[in-house]
């Protein structure tokens, strides 16, 4: 089955700096890669996703890049703000009929004011 | 639109006891998922329903866990008997269907097994 590795497990940045979280996946058939943000005690919420036919996607301060050859994808947050502090999860899906998501272990991002 | 509803939000039980969780997905969402999220880890899929049929339950510990989705809407997840290692947050998610459809998560049920 699919295996998703996520790094780093914790990340501290100064407010206004950029943050980068990286994930690798094992199943070359995976074609959908969402990123979820989970604030303490709350539900995971989708912040951005990318499909395998796209190399990069941006949404305001958030961007995701995908390298299918290397089987890795990354989340980039620019001009970080204290409210960006949360745990971020990457996930991958093969879409092979079941549309299941396999999640990474998460990255705890702390933005220091 | 109303989100995914789950109850109870918290549950504390002794090991070997039974517990049940309930989920009401977003109206019109055909696909329903149950995830187990152990502290410090990402959600792990336990079971996936498409309408009222099971699509995948390969990671569900069937000797103690069971789930059903009667009438293709609400779902219940049961643990009987519970073990200490079952302590986790149980998340329910739903999606309209298809690979590129966003999964919307409920608030989760935090289970503590003593």
> For B75, phi and psi rounded to 5 degrees?
-140, 150
Over 90: is that where the pLDDT of B70 sits? no
A43-57, A94-108, B49-63: least confident range = A94-108
B-chain residues near A50 (CB < 8 A): none
Q: Output the pLDDT for position A1.
A: 80
Over 80: is that where the pLDDT of B54 sits? yes
Number of A/B CB contacts below 8 angstroms equals 59
The verdict on a CB contact (< 8 Å) between A43 and B102 is no
B-chain residues near A43 (CB < 8 A): 91, 105-108
The verdict on a CB contact (< 8 Å) between B48 and A98 is yes
Reference B91, options B111, B106, B71, B69; nearest CA is: B106
Average pLDDT, chain A: 93
User: For B61, what's the count of Cα atoms within 13 Å in the CB-facing half-sphere?
Assistant: 13
Is A46 in CB contact (< 8 Å) with chain B? Answer: yes
């Amino acid at each position: 089955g699919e295996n998703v590795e996520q790094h780093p497990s914790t990340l501290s940045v100064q407010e206004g700096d950029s943050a980068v979280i990286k994930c690798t996946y094992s199943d070359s058939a995976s074609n959908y890669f969402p990123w979820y943000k989970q604030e303490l005690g709350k539900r995971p919420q989708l912040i951005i996703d990318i499909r395998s036919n796209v190399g990069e996607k941006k949404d305001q301060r958030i961007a995701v890049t995908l390298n299918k050859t290397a089987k890795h994808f990354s989340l980039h947050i620019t001009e970080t703000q204290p409210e960006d502090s949360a745990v971020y999860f990457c996930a991958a899906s093969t879409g092979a009929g079941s549309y299941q998501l396999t999640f990474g272990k998460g990255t705890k991002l702390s933005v220091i004011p | 639109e109303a989100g995914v509803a789950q109850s109870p939000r918290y549950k504390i039980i002794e090991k070997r006891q039974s517990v049940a969780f309930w989920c009401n997905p977003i109206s019109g969402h055909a696909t329903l998922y149950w995830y187990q999220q152990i502290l410090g880890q990402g959600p792990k899929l336990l079971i996936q329903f498409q309408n009222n049929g099971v699509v995948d339950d390969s990671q569900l510990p069937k000797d103690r866990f069971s789930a059903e989705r009667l009438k293709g809407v609400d779902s219940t997840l049961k643990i009987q008997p519970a073990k200490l290692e079952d302590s986790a947050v149980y998340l329910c998610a739903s999606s309209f269907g298809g690979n590129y459809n966003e999964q919307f998560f409920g608030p989760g049920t935090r289970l503590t097994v003593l």
